[in-house]
């Protein structure tokens, strides 16, 4: 956990994690990030948590279009095409 | 650009007047459309009306659709235009990218969680670090924490809320989100990063999952280690 000028600090790393997970970091930067993770339990946990958040929300809520509006537009479609 | 094969079959059915095909399209996209509309308009009712108006525009425009974008992107572009016009007067014709710019500049994690940058040995390192969550085996959405997450997302600024809902709740790709909202890939990632971090923070607060590092003890330990090494070398 020593800080060299060319090494990432934790406060810098946390801003890069989504770019990293999205594969948007340049290679050299990604290697620096991984190098930091090798020795930093705090950042490793932080990365795990962001990954957990990203992968856990599927289907959390659904916004339902009101039934009568739905049926209305579908009926309008039928009328406009066949009427 | 050639037309997506799914779009081609669906478009053919729509142009033949197949109401089932139209119903499939409505059921597939309306949830995400309400989320996007909510970024532009103040109330749920206005968002629903914007979605309804969009479907009417889609049925009128379907014969003229040229397939230069995917059908989905085309539908969401119409929605953005409809919702922008339905928004509050002062925000009319404000594109999503401008909404996104309103919440720029906020750090992902509270700066007080780290040692100051000018700390001689540990500048910028965690002071209060995150620790593992006691997540239920069935995942984050199985327990009480589900409500914590829902509340956190509801409370997000509109642009962040929309991006995390499309990416992580609806499961869209980043390309789809960028196209539908007309934002750059970089902008999309900034919004997603902030949104996921606010959710992460809410879960952490709920579990109280942090550990404050005692740097005096760390420094003493390092000094001990150095002294021992020097003794060993002698």
A19, A59, A60: which to substitute to probe chain B, counting the most B Cβ within 10 Å? A60
Q: Quote the pTM value.
A: 0.89
Confidence of residue B93 (pLDDT cuts 50, 70, 90): low
Q: Which of B210, B211, B190, B188 is nearest to B201 (CA)?
A: B210
- Is the pLDDT assigned to residue B94 strictly greater than 80? no
B126: contact with A, CB 8 A cutoff: yes
Residues in B closer than 8 angstroms to A51, CB to CB, are none
Residue A34: the pLDDT is 97
pLDDT band at A5 (very low <50, low <70, confident <90, very high): very low
Taking residues A2-10, what's their average pLDDT?
Answer: 68
Residues 6 or more apart whose Cβ sits within 8 Å of residue B64: none
CA B96, chain centre distance (Å): 13
What pLDDT score was predicted for residue B176? 93
Band of residue B69 on the pLDDT scale cut at 50, 70, 90: confident
Spell out which residues of chain A touch residue B169, defining contact as CB-CB under 8 Å: 57-61
Instruction: Please report the number of interchain residue pairs, chain A to chain B, with beta-carbon separation below 8 angstroms.
Output: 159
In chain B, CATH 1.10.10.10 sits at 111-233
pLDDT at B146: 94
Cα angle for residues A14, A16, A22 (degrees, 5° grid): 125
Which pLDDT score, from 0 to 100, does residue B105 have? 73
Q: Which of B51, B123, B150 sits opposite A3 (nearest CB)?
A: B123
Q: Which residue of A has its CA nearest to B116?
A: A11
In chain B, CATH 1.10.1740.10 sits at 5-94
> What would be the CATH architecture of the domain defined by B5-94?
Orthogonal Bundle (1.10)
The fold adopted by the segment(s) B111-233 is Arc Repressor Mutant, subunit A (1.10.10)
Q: Is B122 on the interface with A (CB under 8 A)?
A: yes
The ipTM, to two decimals, is 0.90
Q: Is the pLDDT of residue B2 over 70?
A: no
Q: Which of A13, A28, A50, A73 is nearest to B168 (CA)?
A: A50
Q: Is residue B150 within 8 angstroms of chain A, CB to CB?
A: yes
- Tally DSSP H helices, then E strands, for chain A: 5, 0
Average the pLDDT over B61-90 and give the result: 89
- Tens-digit pLDDT profile for residues A14-62: 999 999 999 999 999 999 999 999 999 999 999 999 999 999 999 999 8
Helix (H) or strand (E) holding A69: helix A67-82
What DSSP assignment string belongs to B34-101? Answer: HHHHHHHSSSHHHHHHHHHHHHHHHHHHGGG---SS-HHHHHHHHHHHHHHHHS-GGGTT--HHHHHH
pLDDT for residue B218 is more than 70: yes
User: A interface mutation test: which of B53, B195, B199, B214 has the most A CBs within 10 A?
Assistant: B199
Nearest-10 Cα torsion for A77, B27, B183, B45: 80
* Residue B75 Cα distances to B54, B67, B166, angstroms: 7, 11, 15
CB contact under 8 A, A73 and B56: yes
Chain B residues in contact with A7 (beta carbon < 8 A): none
Quick: pLDDT tens for B122-177.
999 999 999 999 987 888 888 889 999 999 999 999 999 999 999 999 999 999 99
Mean of the pLDDT values across residues B65-86? 91
Neighbours of B106 (CB within 10 A): 11
What would the mean pLDDT of A57-69 be, rounded to a whole number? 93
Mean pLDDT lowest among B3-12, B16-25, B31-40: B3-12
Confidence at residue B144, expressed as pLDDT on a 0 to 100 scale = 87
Closest CB to B126: pick one of A2, A10, A69.
A10
Per-residue DSSP letter, B122: T
**Rounded distance, CA B82 to CA B52, Å?**
10
B122: chain A residues, CB-CB within 8 Å? 1, 3
Q: What's the pLDDT at A1?
A: 44
Mean confidence (pLDDT) of chain B: 90
Cβ partners under 8 Å of residue B40, min gap 6: B50, B80, B83, B84, B86, B87, B91, B94, B96, B99, B158
């Amino acid at each position: 956990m020593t800080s060299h000028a060319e090494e990432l600090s934790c406060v810098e790393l946390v801003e890069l994690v989504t770019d990293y997970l999205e594969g948007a970091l340049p290679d050299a930067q990604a290697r620096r990030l991984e190098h930091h993770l090798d020795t930093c339990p705090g950042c490793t946990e932080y990365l795990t948590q962001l990954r957990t958040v990203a992968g856990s929300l599927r289907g959390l809520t659904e916004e339902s279009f009101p039934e009568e509006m739905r049926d209305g537009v579908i009926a309008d479609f039928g009328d406009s095409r066949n009427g | 650009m050639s037309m997506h094969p799914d779009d081609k079959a669906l478009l053919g059915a729509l142009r033949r007047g197949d109401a089932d095909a139209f119903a499939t399209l409505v059921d597939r996209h309306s949830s995400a459309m309400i989320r996007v509309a909510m970024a532009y308009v103040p109330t749920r009712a206005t968002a629903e009306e914007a979605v309804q108006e969009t479907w009417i525009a889609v049925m009128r425009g379907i014969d003229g659709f040229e397939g230069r974008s995917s059908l989905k992107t085309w539908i969401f572009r119409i929605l953005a235009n409809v919702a922008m016009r339905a928004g509050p007067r002062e925000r009319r014709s404000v594109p999503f990218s401008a909404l996104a710019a309103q919440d720029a500049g906020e750090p992902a994690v509270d700066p007080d969680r780290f040692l100051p940058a000018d700390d001689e040995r540990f500048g910028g390192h965690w002071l209060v670090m995150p620790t593992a969550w006691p997540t239920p085996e069935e995942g984050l959405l199985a327990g009480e924490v589900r409500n914590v997450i829902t509340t956190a997302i509801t409370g997000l600024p509109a642009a962040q809320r929309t991006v995390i809902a499309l990416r992580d709740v609806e499961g869209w790709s980043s390309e789809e989100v960028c196209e539908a909202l007309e934002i750059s890939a970089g902008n999309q990632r900034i919004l997603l990063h902030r949104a996921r971090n606010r959710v992460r923070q809410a879960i952490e607060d709920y579990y109280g999952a942090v550990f404050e590092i005692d740097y005096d003890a760390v420094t003493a330990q390092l000094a001990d280690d150095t002294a021992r090494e020097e003794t060993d070398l002698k």
